[in-house]
Amino acid sequence: MAASVLIADDHASFRALARRLLEAAGYEVVGEAPDGASALAAVAALRPAIVLLDIQLPDVDGFTVSRRLAAGDDPPVVVLISSRDRSAYRRRLADTPVRGFLAKSELSGPALAALLRR
């Protein structure tokens, strides 16, 4: 059975690209969200195993969303993404309850799988 994924990003074009990449790699994309509030609601409704979560969302940042998700019952695995490099967030990433970080330019099925194996 394929791992279920929710993609939370405010750019529809990136969500579409991420969906194609992940589905081609065997993931089941169960939903998309354009902002933090929608991501929280979608996680509650869809119960994905993995949330691919943009750091810079229009309403609330991905760090805040990840902490809210981690506080819930049976939280999903969260992987933060950004168009910025990891070095822009190094300190904040260390204090966040996420599995890891991928730059959007590095996103692929194998890269996500490598993070999930950690």
Alpha-carbon torsion (41, 103, 4, 49), positive or negative: negative
CATH label of the domain that carries residue 89? 3.40.50.2300
Q: What is the pLDDT of residues 78-104, one digit of tens each?
A: 999 999 887 777 777 778 889 999 999
Asked if residue 9 belongs to a domain, the reply is: yes
3 state SS of 40? helix
Asked if residue 65 belongs to a domain, the reply is: yes
What is the model's pLDDT at position 86?
Answer: 74
Asked if residue 116 belongs to a domain, the reply is: no
What is the model's pLDDT at position 16?
Answer: 98
Q: How many domains does the chain have?
A: 1
Q: What is the pLDDT of residues 45-74, one digit of tens each?
A: 999 999 999 999 999 999 999 999 999 999
What is the model's pLDDT at position 106?
Answer: 95
- The residue segments making up the domain with residue 77 are 4-104
Asked if residue 114 belongs to a domain, the reply is: no
Asked if residue 117 belongs to a domain, the reply is: no
Asked if residue 68 belongs to a domain, the reply is: yes
Cβ–Cβ under 8 Å, residues 37 and 62: no
Asked if residue 111 belongs to a domain, the reply is: no
